[in-house]
Amino acid sequence: MRRLLAILSFVTASFLAYASEGTPAPQIVNVQGRHTISLDGLWKTIVDPYENGYYNYRMQPHSDASSYFADRDFDADRTVLYEYNFNSDRTLMVPGDWNTQRETLYYYEGTVWYRNIFDYKPAPDKRVFVYFGAANYDAVVGLNGKKIARHVGGYTPFNVEVTGMLKEEGNSLIVKVDNKRHTDGVPTLNSDWWNYGGLTRSVLLVETPMTFIRDYSVQLKQDNPKMVEGWVRLDGEQSEQDVVVEIPELKSKVTVRTDKDGYASFEMKVKPQYWCPENPKLYDVILSSETDSVKDRIGFRTIETRGTEILLNGEPVFCKGVSIHEEMPYSASGRAYSEEHARTLLGWAKEMGCNFVRLAHYPHNEHMVRVAEEMGLMVWSEIPVYWTIQFDNPQTYANAESQLVDMITRDKNRANVIIWSVANETPHGVARLEFLKRLIAKTREMDPTRLVSAAMEKDNIDATTVTVKDELIEYVDLISFNQYVGWYDGTSEKCDRMNWVFDVKKPVFISEFGGGAVYGRHGDVSERFTEEYQEDLYQRSVNMMDRIEGLAGTTPWILKDFRSPRRQIVGIQDDFNRKGLISDQGGKKKAFYVMKKWYEGK
């Protein structure tokens, strides 16, 4: 009983500590279109596996003044006892994960404190926000000695308002980042990718007018592609303003008046060139209020299904795709974050003949989405509702929905995003179905213009006949599923005997298939982990897919080898999932060319 009371006391104290921390401000879209000041670079860090900087020895939360958030001059008075010192500790690069920057942190899961000291001259007519592209997974933000916000979720952006809190010299920004996995987390304890910890994307100061354009949507009208419709949302005290939306190249302009909540919707006639992989046309779109102006590059296209076809701009399109994890392209692999990383990874996809990418299994950095849009690559974007999570836990659902909302908010104006995905390989069950139905409903509420799906799993009718029986099919736009015939299900020759049947007339989309190989490892076609086995498996797989009626797209697993602690065969896997068509050092395996040839014929 005494132990139970102690645990309850700790949980209650932890909850109260976090409950006292503020929530981030609503997400500012198109940060690239704002005046920003980069805080990227070397940050001082403290590795704190016992969270001593947050809890005392009774596991009760410190006050701000007693925690590592306190703004201390460690070197001013040597008579004062400090058992930590940001000044003398080591550094980590931001953006970046800690696992691949420091050998001792390779497998580390826990808390690392980050500190950046910066100067800033406040402007009297500006608001200021600290913008985080992502922090994995639980981030508590402190400024000048006080906790100011907390964000949970490792792959979506958040921003914290700091207007009036900054000094001209010596601002102390401290972030407690904790990447421990939790049973009620999204994702949960078990996954097949590396749990990279840290400030994994850029940190910026964002300046805005006192009342600014925080969010907007600009898209073709769903039932009339000769019209653009959308909305704008102001943030600030001057909520009622005239807002002009203009597309100069199309000579289109409309003026609307926002209401007391800062919101206005609009419509305008247009005759654009449609965005498509062959012509990824983007237009300057300028939104101007009485106090603010922001410019974006936006494309216009329609996406829908008809029977077993996916229609892009009213015409059938086959999604020649590949799945991608957010990992750096070459041997210094870690969490990818830059435009250069995006151009390399997506360039490989284009070289293979792709017009589509699945960004798995979480929202990737914004460079990936925007560069893909420029390059003419359609996108499947998803949240990490992965394998078995706590589908009956309301807090887990709230976490998943929050990540979904953040993803859609950031990328809803990107023409190339055609599919929102709410899950990957989740088990059948009542709680899971209700959980995913709610996510699908939320997706359609926020964005009724795109397709919604999930990566499901195949079901065997008999030894050679396969289908998908998931009840979720009724609620999604695609019959999308993962299958590993020839790898986890028999050997490659089994592909020759498989038949696929579907009762529902929706587009069929194979969101994963493939098998592993070590680049440069050669042997008999029957030997696993050789390039020859993978090549043979891919050739038989595409032959099998040619027999699937209604197939509308594929995203083989995966573009390149990626780190995963599940993959433990020394000399073969070495903490890498080897299913990549390209090695972790950029070498193209023989199966890459099988896909390239098949896509050339599509």
Q: Are residues 182 and 223 in the same domain?
A: no
Q: Of 158, 190, 208, which closes a domain?
A: 208
Other Cβ atoms within 10 Å of 541 Cβ, number: 28
Q: Are residues 515 and 382 in the same domain?
A: yes
Which pLDDT score, from 0 to 100, does residue 5 have? 38
Tokens of 94: 């931001």
C-beta of residue 160 within 8 angstroms of C-beta of residue 25: yes
Contacts 24+ apart (CB under 8 A), 325-330: 325/193, 325/360, 325/361, 325/558, 325/559, 325/560, 325/562, 326/155, 326/359, 326/362, 326/364, 326/365, 326/368, 327/194, 327/560, 327/562, 327/563, 327/584, 329/560, 329/586, 330/584, 330/585, 330/586
User: Which CATH number belongs to the domain containing residue 319 in this structure?
Assistant: 3.20.20.80
Q: Are residues 234 and 364 in the same domain?
A: no
Q: Quick check: 8 pLDDT over 70?
A: no
Q: Which of 554, 565, 257, 537 is nearest to 378 (CA)?
A: 554
Which pLDDT score, from 0 to 100, does residue 21 have? 66
Q: Which of 286, 209, 215, 282 is nearest to 244 (CA)?
A: 286
Helix, strand, coil percentages, rounded to 5, for the chain = 20, 35, 45
Tokens of 394: 């309301």
> In angstroms, how far is CA 401 from the centroid of its own chain?
13
Which pLDDT score, from 0 to 100, does residue 78 have? 81
Q: Are residues 193 and 227 in the same domain?
A: no
Whether residue 521 lies inside any domain: the answer is yes
**Distance from the first to the final alpha carbon of the chain:** 67
Whether residue 269 lies inside any domain: the answer is yes
Whether residue 4 lies inside any domain: the answer is no
Any bridge partners for residue 553, and if so which? 319, 509
pLDDT band at 538 (very low <50, low <70, confident <90, very high): very high
Q: What letter represents residue 588's amino acid?
A: K
Which pLDDT score, from 0 to 100, does residue 10 have? 34
C-beta of residue 513 within 8 angstroms of C-beta of residue 466: no
Which pLDDT score, from 0 to 100, does residue 1 have? 39
Other Cβ atoms within 10 Å of 57 Cβ, number: 7
Which pLDDT score, from 0 to 100, does residue 124 have? 85
Q: Are residues 442 and 563 in the same domain?
A: yes
DSSP letter for each residue of 64-87: GGGSTTS---TTT-TTS--S--TT
Q: Quick check: 485 pLDDT over 70?
A: yes
Q: Are residues 19 and 34 in the same domain?
A: yes
CA 514 – CA 360 distance, rounded (Å): 15
Which pLDDT score, from 0 to 100, does residue 18 have? 40
Whether residue 297 lies inside any domain: the answer is no
Q: Are residues 267 and 145 in the same domain?
A: no
Q: Are residues 340 and 244 in the same domain?
A: no
CA 211 – CA 278 distance, rounded (Å): 40
Which pLDDT score, from 0 to 100, does residue 19 have? 39
Q: Which of 131, 26, 92 is nearest to 365 (CA)?
A: 131
CA 154 – CA 191 distance, rounded (Å): 14
Q: Of 183, 208, 233, which closes a domain?
A: 208
What is the mean predicted confidence (pLDDT) over 91-97?
Answer: 98
Whether residue 524 lies inside any domain: the answer is yes
Share of the chain above pLDDT 70, in %: 96
CA 83 – CA 432 distance, rounded (Å): 47
- Helix 366-375 with 339-351: angle, nearest 10 deg: 40
CA dihedral sign of residues 428, 432, 436, 438? positive
Q: Quick check: 545 pLDDT over 50?
A: yes
User: Which CATH number belongs to the domain containing residue 40 in this structure?
Assistant: 2.60.120.260
What is the mean predicted confidence (pLDDT) over 292-301?
Answer: 98
Q: Quick check: 333 pLDDT over 80?
A: no
Collapsed DSSP state (helix, strand, coil) of residue 368? helix
Q: Which of 243, 246, 242 is nearest to 295 (CA)?
A: 246
Q: Quick check: 13 pLDDT over 90?
A: no
Which pLDDT score, from 0 to 100, does residue 330 have? 87
Q: Which of 539, 482, 543 is nearest to 511 (CA)?
A: 482
Q: Are residues 267 and 376 in the same domain?
A: no
pLDDT band at 130 (very low <50, low <70, confident <90, very high): very high
Q: What is the reported pTM?
A: 0.94
Tokens of 267: 């419509």
Q: Over the stretch 493-520, which tens digit does the pLDDT of each residue have?
A: 999 999 999 999 999 999 999 999 999 9
Collapsed DSSP state (helix, strand, coil) of residue 33? helix
Whether residue 6 lies inside any domain: the answer is no
**Pick from 83-87, 173-177, 308-312, 548-552: least confident:** 83-87
Q: What letter represents residue 187's amino acid?
A: P
Q: Which of 383, 363, 379, 505 is nearest to 436 (CA)?
A: 383
C-beta of residue 451 within 8 angstroms of C-beta of residue 477: yes
Instruction: Classify residue 210 as left (phi > 0), alpha (psi -120 to 50) or beta.
Output: alpha
Distances (CA, A) of 227 to 52, 117, 223, 224, 269: 58, 49, 9, 6, 5
Q: Are residues 140 and 220 in the same domain?
A: no
Q: Which of 280, 277, 322, 278 is nearest to 596 (CA)?
A: 322
For 258, the domain range is 212-290
User: Which CATH number belongs to the domain containing residue 264 in this structure?
Assistant: 2.60.40.10
**Pick from 37-41, 44-48, 123-127, 169-173: least confident:** 123-127
Q: Which of 451, 454, 485 is nearest to 471 (CA)?
A: 454
What is the mean predicted confidence (pLDDT) over 467-480?
Answer: 97
Q: Quick check: 422 pLDDT over 70?
A: yes
Whether residue 240 lies inside any domain: the answer is yes
Q: Strand 203-209 vs strand 35-38: parallel, antiparallel, or unpaired?
A: antiparallel
Q: Over the stretch 249-292, which tens digit does the pLDDT of each residue have?
A: 999 999 999 999 999 999 999 999 999 999 999 999 999 999 99
**Pick from 75-89, 123-137, 285-299, 405-419: least confident:** 75-89
Number of domains present in the structure of the chain:
3
CA 207 – CA 162 distance, rounded (Å): 10
C-beta of residue 373 within 8 angstroms of C-beta of residue 159: no
Q: Are residues 127 and 185 in the same domain?
A: yes
pLDDT band at 81 (very low <50, low <70, confident <90, very high): confident
Q: Quick check: 198 pLDDT over 90?
A: yes
Tokens of 205: 């100061």
On the question of a cis peptide bond just before residue 24, with omega within 30 degrees of 0, the verdict is: no
Q: Which of 183, 185, 298, 312 is nearest to 248 (CA)?
A: 298
Whether residue 434 lies inside any domain: the answer is yes
Helices vs. strands in the chain: H and E counts, helices first: 7, 34
Share of the chain above pLDDT 90, in %: 92
Q: Are residues 343 and 475 in the same domain?
A: yes
SS (H, E, C) 293-320: EEEEEECCCCEEEECCEEEECCEECCEE
Q: Give me the chain's average pLDDT, please.
A: 94
Q: Of 208, 238, 253, which closes a domain?
A: 208
Which pLDDT score, from 0 to 100, does residue 17 have? 40
Residue burial 235-244, b: 16+ Cβ < 10 Å; e: rest: bbebeebebb
